Amino acid sequence: MKPFVLFLGLALGQFPLVAQYWQQRVDYRIEVTLDDQTHRLYANLAFDYTNNSPHTLDSLYLHVWPNAYKDGTTALFQQLNGQGTKIAMMDTSALGYIAQLDFKINGKPVSWSYNPKNIDIVGIKLNESLKPGKSLTLTTPFTVKIPSGSISRLGHIGQSYQITQWYPKPAVFDRKGWHAMPYLNQGEFYSEFGSYDVSITVPKNYVLGATGERQSAEDVAFMDSLAAHTQTNLTSIIALPSGALRDSFPASSKEWKTVRFTQDNVHDFAWFTDKRYKVLKGSVKLPHSGRTVTSWALFTPANALLWKNSIEYLNDGTYYYSQWNGDYPYTAVTAVDGTISAGGGMEYPMITVIGNSSTARDLEVVIVHEVGHNWFYGILGSNEREHGWMDEGINTANEMRYVATKYPNNKDFSDILAGGRLHLNDLNHHDVGDIMYRVLAAINADQPIQTHSASFSSANYGVIMYQKTGLVFHYLRSYLGDKLYDQCMQRYYDLYQFKHPYPEDLQEVVESISGRKLDWLFRDLIQTTKVVDYRMVRAKYLSAMNTYSVKVKNKGAIQGPIQVVSLDKSGKVLESQWTDPKKKRSTLMFQGGEEIALFAIDPTKQIPEINRSNNRINPNKFLFKKCEPLAFEFLIGDHEPHKTNIFWTPMMAFNRSDRFMIGAAFHNFGLPFKPFQFLVAPMYSVGRNTIGGVAELSKMYFPSKDFRSIKAGISVKSFGIQEDPKGQTQSYFVAITPYLNVNLVPNRTPKGFAHDLTFKWLWRRDVLPIDDYTVENGLKVNQTLRWNKKRISHESQLQFEGVLDYSDLFYDVASFARVSTTQSLTVTYLDRKMTRKMNFRVYGGYNLGYNSGASYYQGMGRYSISMFGAAGYQDIFAENYYFNRGSVYGAQYANDMGGFRTASNVLKMSNYWASSLNATIQLPVKPNIFVAYADVGIYEDSMRATTIYNAGLGINLADVIGVYFPLVQSSNMGNLYQDYASSIRLTLRFNPFNAPVKLANLINR
């Protein structure tokens, strides 16, 4: 339908979707009283529901969302549980619900029931069907037990009340049908437009903020006097020290007041009340109509310093959003200081609640964002649950524009993000969103913008739905230019204000007004995870015309337009051109010769491009035309588009044979991760008087979303080996390990499943004092399957690991091959309001074969074909770091194979097969790093099975560092206390090259 409506002039016929549009209407009358002793609401509700659809309705669906807080079965608690808030950690007094419902329609009782799956949805069977164009009146009393404000958006903290989603309300019925939905924390709303007439009764000293116009003259005077008082005494309010005088709730007055609010053309009604509120009042004149809007800020004395300029933020937000999108249609705009939500803010029509902010700039951005939702949610009432980008994302684009307009050189936003310590200070507000998007996209962990709210991972919900959409509409504005972009958005606003637009409606309007086909945006950028990447190919000077012919190539999968500019030596833009969206290769002609110092694709980062290192060409250089200067930065930072960033950090290491090692690590682990990563850490060994250390290179590939990643790399390690007890000889090893890692996410597998396959080849040379050197070749295949499951009471992870390894020592003189499996179950559960972990692990290993040479070398203590896991020599593939590799009895063990957390002569003996059970349980003390452990093993010794065990206490830090103190062990392992110090075991597992894959797994859990 769309292609032929393009370019047809400006008659309304060009918007066929608008022409057929209809929507339902709901007009509410509510009386509600707050009991601030029992934290309950007592209310009566009536609404007139008008069926403007062409369909006859036999039933009605209502949201009764206070029931979302009732018990662990609700969609809200199921979701919160997955995000770390556990209902089991709450007192029942924190929960909430709606009660006393008694629905009547047109005065007659009706049959109704709770939805069997969602107790916060009610279905009503109409006594008489509702014909098109007809209305009905529904009435019911109701009470609400207000939940704790720490759970979600409806709640109270002490006597501070945030009353939202609190009354029975019809689900939207639109051209796509009914939209009954349970309340969720991650995932917003969809409601019918209409009018509200709400009377709120509270003790007289409560300060009220709500949707709508305040109708009670007495309360208008009360608010004006509070505003005058706050204005005069602002300095002394700010100076109030923390404590009872400033922070505690005054007693509730014995007298009551009823304040009435009315409003038309809104789709929700929220109210907030607190006895401590200070009030500021202002006004803003709208840019198009010249009408004046009253602005209100209600805040607690504790936040007075941050809020002192809040009226300016409200006014500027209202002004700029009006200018760009269309005038604010209501008479008041309010922001209240929500002592409830933990950071951020939440929008409701005409009123927004703001969480705690760390700085005034932070507060300004949150207020402006939430005020901006009046346009993208309040007035343009899209279905936020299904198309969250239409409100959050487009609103974020406006928020980015607001910051860039008011603070053109806003480089202080990145400092907020990183506390100023990382090298992110080249990033402005827009760039922070840009880098967050690219971090996810670079590890293939991003989801499409068009994803149902409940299907988003929390990282994607914030980064993709908000930030990436913001970047995409920023891109569109940059392409169309402000004037045309504003015309598009203003026409969208005119046509769809107080309506329910869908993505296709927005696309129809923008394509029609701009006269451009925008499939590359609405289909590809929004509905897929395809990336934008353009590359500069060449710049050729045509002297006869004093012109450059500049060729660029689209390397990405989005056929969008791209901006190419010529710049002079000072960085001033000389000429700027956009390519044709559909072309894979474009050649652009630029006027000029010597004065042009650089051609660049999108030098000011207007486009969410994934790789900016191929965007520049210097026409005056013969060699290295496209090379960027190296920039060394300490520790870590972001990859800047016009530099090759290398990060460095001093390194120090210690082991018994090298003694101290000192050097530096150079790497490119900046943000976002690059597909090609390297780390080189040469270190000088004091013990051996030579250079050792580690180096690793890897490259990641993302063939499709079925693969989280494919990584090919090579690792090189060289350290000393302690061979003789006196440590006089300079024995060392060099291990070179190429590897291939495949991280699979087979499509249609449930969330929380991961499949990891690694192949490693080893080439290792040990230079030893006894027989000069040995050469080892080896192959190791490791397959891991992992399932994560989150339930209300606990979270579990089941892991299956299979390993096959083969080592060939000294050209076939000694070789052996092993196969083993490990099953591990980790359960995270709640115990006395603390989360605690238990891990059980079962290992089984079998030596497929080894020759006599292998026994000989094992006898020499050169390595172990044992399967219980001991010390340095076990680590043939040099996968771990050791303080002492020289002995089976080193202080350190690798947490693999049999995983025994002790050392004993007996552990060498498991030559044929071995099996073990390891249990680790976190102790009920804070912090939860202390563990009790036990290992039981069985192995074949001289043709018969022998059992060993040990148990003790230990410390485990995030599975990276562990220290284990054995308390008991079986007698065949020797006397534990003879040399106790040497029985203490240490583990260390650390590999930065796994970070991208680990992060991707975490995001997609």
The CA-atom distances, in angstroms, between 598 and each of 151, 232, 451, 561, 890 are 54, 57, 40, 20, 59
Q: DSSP string covering 544-597, please?
A: GGTEEEEEEEE-SS-----EEEEE-TT--EEEEEE--TT-SEEEEEEE-STT--
- Pair 339, 273: CB distance under 8 Å: no
Q: Which is nearer to Zn ion, 166 or 348 (CB)?
A: 348
Q: Are 296 and 280 in contact (CB under 8 A)?
A: yes
Beta strands in 104-254 (DSSP E): 104-105, 108-109, 111-114, 121-130, 135-145, 155-157, 160-163, 169-170, 172-174, 177-179, 194-203, 207-210, 213-214
Q: Which of residues 863-892 bind Zn ion (CB under 5 A)?
A: none
Over the range 659-678, which residues count as b (16 or more CB within 10 Å of their CB) and which as e? Answer: eebebebbbbbbbbbbbebb
Task: Write down the least CB distance from residue 300 to Zn ion, Å.
Answer: 22
Non-local (6+) Cβ contacts of 500 within 8 A are 23, 172, 174, 190, 381, 382, 383
Q: 168 or 378: whose CB is closer to Zn ion? A: 378
Name the residue nearer to Zn ion (CB basis): 277 or 466: 466
Least distance (Å) from Zn ion to the CB of residue 347?
6
Give the integer Cα–Cα distance in Å for 18 and 513: 14
Collapse the DSSP code of 278 into the 3-class scheme (helix H, G, I; strand E, B; otherwise coil) and give the result.
strand
| Residue (449 or 803) nearer to Zn ion, CB | 449
Query: Of 67, 90, 262, which Cα lies nearest the Cα of 169?
Result: 67
Minimum CB distance to Zn ion smaller for 353 or for 600:
353
In contact, 721 and 766? CB cutoff 8 Å = yes
C-beta of 371 vs 871, nearer to Zn ion = 371
Shorter beta-carbon distance to Zn ion: residue 392 or 609 = 392
User: With respect to Zn ion, which residue has the nearer C-beta, 383 or 858?
Assistant: 383
Q: Nearer Cβ to Zn ion, position 180 or 367?
A: 367
- Min separation Cβ 382 and Zn ion, Å: 13
Minimum CB distance to Zn ion, residue 746 (Å):
34
* Nearest partner of 431 among 558, 607, 562, judged by Cα: 607
Query: Which lies closer to Zn ion via its Cβ, residue 379 or residue 653?
Result: 379
367 or 809, CB closer to Zn ion? 367
Nearer to Zn ion, 356 or 820 (CB): 356
CB 369 within 8 A of CB 394: no
Nearest CB to Zn ion, comparing residues 202 and 390: 390
CB of 563 to Zn ion, least distance (A): 29
Min CB(396)–Zn ion separation in Å: 7
**First-to-final CA distance of the chain:** 40
- Binding residues among 370-409 for Zn ion as defined by CB under 5 A: 392
Question: For 378, how many CA atoms within 13 A lie in the half-sphere containing its CB?
Answer: 28
**Closest distance between Zn ion and the C-beta of residue 154, in Å?**
18
Please state the closest distance from residue 344 (CB atom) to Zn ion, in A. 8
Residue linked to tokens 């994607």? 460
Nearest C-alpha neighbor of 763 from the set 714, 722, 696: 714
Nearest residue to Zn ion on Cβ basis: 392
Comparing CB distances to Zn ion, the nearer of 388 and 672 is 388
Pick 366 or 1000: Cβ nearer Zn ion: 366
Q: What are the DSSP calls for 223-260, one per residue? A: HHHHHHHHHHHHHHHHHPPSSHHHHSPPPPPSSEEEEE
β-pair partners for 652: 662
Q: Which residues contact residue 944 at a Cβ distance below 8 angstroms, ignoring those fewer than 6 apart?
A: none
In this structure, are strands 57-63 and 563-567 parallel, antiparallel, or unpaired? unpaired
- Give how far Cα 915 sits from Cα of 675, 866, 888, 900, 912, Å: 40, 11, 19, 11, 11
Shortest distance, position 369 Cβ to Zn ion, whole Å? 6
Reference 670, options 970, 995, 947, 193; nearest CA is 995
Radius of gyration (C-alpha) of the chain in whole angstroms: 34
Judged by beta carbon, residue 399 or residue 808, the one nearer Zn ion is 399
Minimum Å distance from CB 489 to Zn ion? 17
Least distance in angstroms from the C-beta of 373 to Zn ion: 6
**Structure tokens, 970:** 């079986």
Q: Among residues 396 and 822, whose Cβ is nearest to Zn ion?
A: 396
Report the distance separating Cα 22 and Cα 261, nearest Å: 27
What's the closest the beta carbon of residue 453 comes to Zn ion, in angstroms?
12
Type of residue found at 74: T
Minimum CB separation of residue 268 from Zn ion in Å reads: 14
By CB under 5 A, what part of segment 660-719 binds Zn ion?
none
Q: Is 36 helix (H, G, I), strand (E, B) or coil?
A: coil
Strand pairing class (292-299; 332-337): parallel
Question: Of 774, 776, 772, which is closest to residue 763 (Cα–Cα)?
Answer: 776
Closest separation in Å from C-beta 457 to Zn ion:
18
**Residue 884 to residue 130: CA distance in whole angstroms:** 82
Please tell me the count of residues contacting Zn ion according to CB under 5 A. Answer: 1
SS3 of 76, please?
Answer: helix
Binding mask 333-372 for Zn ion (x = CB under 5 A): ----------------------------------------
Shortest Cβ 309–Zn ion spacing (Å): 21
Whichever of 392 and 640 has its CB closer to Zn ion, that residue is: 392
CB of 356 to Zn ion, least distance (A): 17
Q: How many CB atoms lie within 10 A of CB 417?
A: 13
Q: Which residues bind Zn ion (CB under 5 A)?
A: 392
